Amino acid sequence: MSFAANYLKRIYVKRTPEANKTIHVLSSAFKAEFSWHNMRTLQECREACGGQGLKTENRVGHLKSEHDVQSTFEGDNNVLMQQVSKAIIAEYVAAQRRKKPFKGLGLEHMNDPSPVIPPHLTSTILRSNQFQTAIFCLRERDLLIRFAAEVSQHQTRGESKEYAFILSYQLAEDLARAFTEKAILQTVIETEMTLSDGPLKNVLGLLRSMYALVSMEEDSSFLRYGFLSTENAADVRKEVTKLCSELRPHALSVVSSFGIPDAFLSPIAFDWIAANSWSPSQQ
């Protein structure tokens, strides 16, 4: 997600009038996805740290209180995701009417034939950026077509365009998530491609695969709409477990790579045993 955030910063700094729409759509999508992820991560950390996660000095509770507002600040996340879907379907309808190729918002893959997912997913396939890109594009393509068809059906029955969107809100949220996660994955792959072969690229490849496969495991739309079979979903889950084992030795280095100053960290980030010990004079 930090790669995606940096990408958004770059296109904002070099923005042109033509890029304003892309900036608006991506910022809406990333803000919602990042803030939801933020709260899930803080909760996971709090539970993983046991009683230490509840101690005031370790700041997890403070961070949760401070960041919880992000889910509604500068726009409710669910509303922002609906804005994303509206922007995407507008591009879809315009391309259909003009009978011209898709251009912009990362929808260019809609101009190509629909990706074909192998019936049997090996570890090599699951970890390949080609497969990950293909299945993320397939999900976005299929959900966009479904969303457009459902909105059109509601309008045919006499509903207004606005109310048709509301009635199709479940597909809209699935589509927005598909768009967002595909955009994040693309920024990681683009960064990875700039690196020479070596340990750094290898670790980034593990992180990319972890992000892609966890997204597949957590989003029920992969199973609901048949992008993954039940057997393939089980393969994805097993591969996530393998990735956790392979990434564990690098976990501290990955966290340290964000360069968070020590002053921002809590006692639990250092010698937490010493931080919780008592001297004889204190007993």
Q: Poorest-confidence range of 24-33, 215-224, 241-250, 271-280?
A: 271-280
If you average pLDDT over residues 191-197, what whole number do you get? 92
pLDDT 10s digits, 146-175: 999 999 999 999 998 889 988 999 999 999
pTM above 0.85, yes or no: yes
pLDDT over 60 (residue 114): yes
Domains of the chain: 2-254 (1.20.140.10)
Q: Give backbone dihedrals phi and psi of 72, rounded to 5 degrees, phi first.
A: -125, -15
